[in-house]
A and B are shown apart, each in its own frame.
Chain A
Amino acid sequence: MTRIVVDPVTRIEGHLRIEASVVDGCVSDAWSSSTMFRGIELILQGRDPRDAWAFCQRICGVCTTVHAIASIRAVEDAIGAVPPPNARVLRNLVMAAQAVQDHVIHFYHLHALDWVDVVSALKADPAETSQLAMSISDWHDSSAKYFKGVQARLQAFVDRGQLGPFGNAYWGHPAYKLPPAANLMAVAHYLAALDWQREFIKLHAILGGKNPHLQSFLVGGMATPIDPDSQAALNADTIGALRGLVAGARDFVNQVYIPDLLAIASFYKDWAGYGAGVGNYLVYGEYPLTDEPHAPKFLPAGVIRGRDLAHVEAFDPEKITEQVTHSWYTYSEGDKAALHPSHGQTNPKYTGPTPPYEFLDTNAKYSWLKSPRYDGQAMEVGPLARMLVAYGSGHARVRELVDGALAKLGVGPEVLFSTLGRVAARGLETELLAEKMGDWVDELAANMGRGELRIHDNDKWDPSSWPKFAHGAGFHEAPRGSLGHWVRIADGKIENYQCVVPSTWNAGPRDALGAPGPYEAALVGTPVADPEQPLEILRTVHSFDPCMACGVHVIDPAGREVAHVKVR
């Protein structure tokens, strides 16, 4: 048996460490550890709940917006603020843009290098690459000349001997299967996507002032005024700009991302056999389509257990708990207790090895992530969960997209429960959202046209309008999965704050019963051709799109005492 350590897991957000035992070239057991902690929920205590979104947003700068959204929803739920229709539409646009941009960046800049051999691209015949590209897409940059230019640029880069971020990597590894022509196409689109993301995300700057860390969120609405007769507000010009950006996104996703995804997947069909994970899927639902309290959502909520697509259960937030048996926290009820986040209780207590260290003691506590469970079970969250729940719920467009992709690859729905399925679901969700965004731009334009200019519920802005004690929850489907914030407010200040986030669901450690989290379960059975170059482990871990800074948090009514000790 070989014990492999991958730390840092790169091309993710945050700090993730994987330890795995490998027997006969296969992972027999795996442990997922988050190695960074900030204590943001503790920092939130005693502050103005209307400020919380800005603090929470900084949990993550890659999935910027998501914690801001969950936070304003939690506070609105607590104080009874009702955002007007424009706020819902603006938030839908901001959230969908985040998902579309984030998924594209994930595919090309965080995940592609697990499947694409950059050095092999140097051996490609640009004419052959051009032929390949034109056979799968109408994208304008597909000429032999274009690919030749990319190749020359890459050659100049390699010749100089300074490989920068591509240095020390796994080029030539036997698990790379793409022919040189396909590698060159993917490298070209890696660079194209770098330009595209910068352009597309101007949508966030229009609606939020800047990206990352947009600054237009408000408890009760949004801060971007709407007025077709003003240059200092969202107006007809804005509608035109938004339409252009959305159309550009649709083109890039449909003509570059999806064709690349299907082309690459066709060489890696064996990865439909790896990375299945826990087989349970959880979705809170997202993109409210109307303004009533329990509005229908474009992507439905639901729970699937044991890969049974025929039975989608209703989601019940009361069934969520968190455990700390293997996490660097303690519970006053004992470390095997399972607590609902509205009464979350965590004391940070690092008991891991003193750095520098070689191995964690995975029999003891070994992560800054807690272990969230739904009805006692580990759940996978994210694009695959969303596409499966929507598919199982009969979402017509999702069924069309999923069935279409499966037909193109010549495979059945069983392949969805895998590393490859996760990668494919992310792409299909991007396509779905990019096309849906146009509807919300139209809705915004229609509101503007009929004089509906409200952006905020001013009645609940002043804390004197709030109850003395209040508590609420805010749910969101972030790019990486289901996100929930729980807040307690007393006398206009935050008394208690708790986040249960996608990467905690997916990357959490074992629970009190010793049951593994989704990453840990998904890695078992993964082949490892060369323990020195654990490329295959990266493939499965990256398929979840880890975001570790999100995963780590602490909240405890008694936590201030602990913090006093820690403070210098």
Chain B
Amino acid sequence: MPVIGDGFRRELEARGISRREFVGFCAGVAAILGLPKSAVAQVARALETKPKPTLVWLELQDCAGCTESFLRASKPSAADVILDLLSVDYHETLMAAAGHRAEAALADVVAKKPGEYIAVVEGSIPTGNGYCTVGGRSAQQIVDDVCSHAAAVIAVGTCAAFGGLPAAAPNPTGGRSVGDAVPGIRKLVNMPACPVNGENLAALVTYYLTYGKWPALDHLHRPLFAYGKSIHDACERRAHFDAGQYVEAWGDAGHRAGFCLYKMGCKGPATFHNCPNVGWNEHTSWPVGCGHPCIGCAEPAFWDRMTPFYEHLAGVPGFGVGTSIDRVGAWATAAVAGTFTAHALVQLTRRKLAETAAKKQRAAESSAAPPQPQPKDKQP
């Protein structure tokens, strides 16, 4: 048996990470989570004293981009710490063992630690027979087994959270999100974006380790700390939007001066994610920051709803942070109307019906819970 309760602090010292660096790391995580300064000590205490929980990471209809993004997660000099916060007992891309020995490691966790481990799922789950098998088992058989016995499930990336690319019209393989493939899953958190931002994933795990529960989620099971605000509202180019200063052509004077990319197709007004605040690759940049419009990659069905990527959203009103939230659905619909094939609309309608049904079910299940701030449903 693993030594439960082994001091994380001691391990850090053994590897030469000072107390000061560690607290700095905790403060960074707390900042991403939007926690007050007073919470830093609590985060640090929890990380120091809690045992390493087991985590298994499943890769299904995926591209491993979320795995790579997780490897880019960083807080000053302590990114490797994030790996050590957990015992990652199964991860195809990283693990040394292969074949039946790898599968045995997964089976061991499910058999010996039911209700104790975290399952991370990357990629969607096909409904067709034979579209995705690992060790001879289908993706559906694997998630049925692993997710239903997990203490909590994190769907990383837009594929696992919402179906993503495989589920884009015409969804040739019947790709589905984890929530749709395994209904009634316990403690599901969706972490969309393509790929998931490693910093957000690290912050989520830290929150869970600190408080023993998930942060506040919206109706799509997304943590509010990362998905509570539109890209448009936090964008560094917002002042240019309000001033009517737009990029008109790639490389023009406005583009070089950092003007708003709305006319070039930016989906920031219809996309809820913390890219502008957290950035990518240790705050190096982010897509709008480097000069390309947001493509809405954290939103459900963005491959269908946000395309064509270079056509601008219809009728985004100017001025005023936050005035837009109620109308997001309407703009997305306007952008979509001219571009959809008929069967893509059928797909979306089906998805919408399924989501509504699932939402009702969840609402019934959690009717006793206090209300949480929720952005409006953005589905057309």
Interface string of B161-173 (1 = CB under 8 A from A): 0000110111111
Does B131 lie within 8 Å of A209, measured CB to CB?
no
List 30 interface pairs A-B (beta carbons < 8 Å), by A numbering: A5-B100, A10-B94, A10-B96, A36-B60, A38-B173, A48-B308, A54-B309, A55-B165, A60-B65, A62-B64, A109-B94, A160-B52, A162-B87, A165-B95, A168-B105, A191-B80, A209-B285, A211-B280, A211-B281, A212-B72, A220-B250, A221-B251, A233-B257, A233-B258, A355-B136, A357-B136, A456-B250, A566-B128, A567-B174, A568-B350
What is the chain B residue whose CB lies nearest that of A562?
A: B172
Bound complex: CA A231 to CA B100 (Å): 54
CB of A166 within 8 Å of the partner chain? yes
CB of B66 within 8 Å of the partner chain? yes
Interface string of B109-127 (1 = CB under 8 A from A): 0000000000000000011
Does B68 lie within 8 Å of A212, measured CB to CB?
yes
Of the 9-residue stretches A71-79, A127-135, A200-208, A427-435, which lies at the interface with chain B? Answer: A200-208
Q: A84 → chain B, closest Cβ, in Å?
A: 8
Bound complex: CA A230 to CA B165 (Å): 36
What is the chain B residue whose CB lies nearest that of A350?
A: B130
B residues 86-118 in Cβ contact with A at 8 Å: 86-89, 91-105
Mark B residues whose CB is within 8 Å of A.
1-3, 6, 10-11, 14-16, 52, 54, 59-69, 71-72, 74, 79-80, 83-84, 86-89, 91-105, 126-138, 141, 165-166, 168-175, 194-195, 249-251, 255-258, 280-282, 284-292, 295, 303, 307-310, 341, 343, 347, 350
Does A13 lie within 8 Å of B64, measured CB to CB?
yes
A residues 207-221 in Cβ contact with B at 8 Å: 207-213, 215-216, 218, 220-221
CB neighbours (8 Å) of B310 from chain A are 48, 50-51
Does A207 lie within 8 Å of B290, measured CB to CB?
yes
CB neighbours (8 Å) of B69 from chain A are 61, 212
Q: A42-B172, A216-B291 are in contact. Are A8 and B135 (CB under 8 A)?
A: yes
CB neighbours (8 Å) of A244 from chain B are none
Bound complex: CA A513 to CA B99 (Å): 30
Does B288 lie within 8 Å of A209, measured CB to CB?
yes
CB of A538 within 8 Å of the partner chain? yes
CB of A284 within 8 Å of the partner chain? no
CB neighbours (8 Å) of B102 from chain A are 8, 10, 168
Does A8 lie within 8 Å of B98, measured CB to CB?
yes
Mostly, the A contact residues are loop
Does A7 lie within 8 Å of B290, measured CB to CB?
no
CB neighbours (8 Å) of A352 from chain B are 130
Interface string of A147-158 (1 = CB under 8 A from B): 001001100110
Q: B90 → chain A, closest Cβ, in Å?
A: 8
CB neighbours (8 Å) of B15 from chain A are 149, 152-153, 156
CB of A58 within 8 Å of the partner chain? yes
Does B250 lie within 8 Å of A10, measured CB to CB?
no
CB neighbours (8 Å) of B91 from chain A are 165
Q: B234 → chain A, closest Cβ, in Å?
A: 16
Does B168 lie within 8 Å of A43, measured CB to CB?
yes
Does B2 lie within 8 Å of A160, measured CB to CB?
yes
Bound complex: CA A209 to CA B280 (Å): 7
CB neighbours (8 Å) of B134 from chain A are 7-8, 15, 35
Q: A151 → chain B, closest Cβ, in Å?
A: 10
Interface centre among B71, B83, B172, B284 (most CB of A within 10 A): B172
Does A58 lie within 8 Å of B63, measured CB to CB?
yes
CB neighbours (8 Å) of B136 from chain A are 5, 7, 353, 355-358
Q: A535 → chain B, closest Cβ, in Å?
A: 9
Contact with A195, one of B10, B80, B173, B290 (Cβ below 8 angstroms): B80
Does B66 lie within 8 Å of A61, measured CB to CB?
yes
Q: A465 → chain B, closest Cβ, in Å?
A: 13
Does B80 lie within 8 Å of A225, measured CB to CB?
no
Q: A5-B99, A149-B15, A231-B258 are in contact. Are A194 and B172 (CB under 8 A)?
A: no
Does A10 lie within 8 Å of B292, measured CB to CB?
no
Q: A444 → chain B, closest Cβ, in Å?
A: 14
Question: What are the 10 closest A-B residue pairs judged by CB atoms, nearest first?
Answer: A61-B65, A232-B258, A39-B172, A210-B280, A350-B130, A169-B96, A209-B287, A205-B284, A456-B250, A205-B281
Interface centre among B11, B98, B141, B341 (most CB of A within 10 A): B98
CB neighbours (8 Å) of B255 from chain A are 225, 233
CB neighbours (8 Å) of A118 from chain B are 96
Q: A218 → chain B, closest Cβ, in Å?
A: 6
Bound complex: CA A549 to CA B59 (Å): 11
Q: A194-B71, A350-B130, A455-B251 are in contact. Are A165 and B88 (CB under 8 A)?
A: yes
Q: B200 → chain A, closest Cβ, in Å?
A: 13
Does B101 lie within 8 Å of A169, measured CB to CB?
yes
CB neighbours (8 Å) of A43 from chain B are 165-166, 168-172, 303
CB neighbours (8 Å) of B347 from chain A are 567
Q: A19 → chain B, closest Cβ, in Å?
A: 11
Does B71 lie within 8 Å of A7, measured CB to CB?
no
Contact with A549, one of B54, B62, B195 (Cβ below 8 angstroms): B62
Bound complex: CA A549 to CA B132 (Å): 11
CB of A224 within 8 Å of the partner chain? yes
Bound complex: CA A249 to CA B106 (Å): 36
CB neighbours (8 Å) of B61 from chain A are 36, 38
Contact with B14, one of A156, A215, A233, A534 (Cβ below 8 angstroms): A156
Bound complex: CA A7 to CA B129 (Å): 18
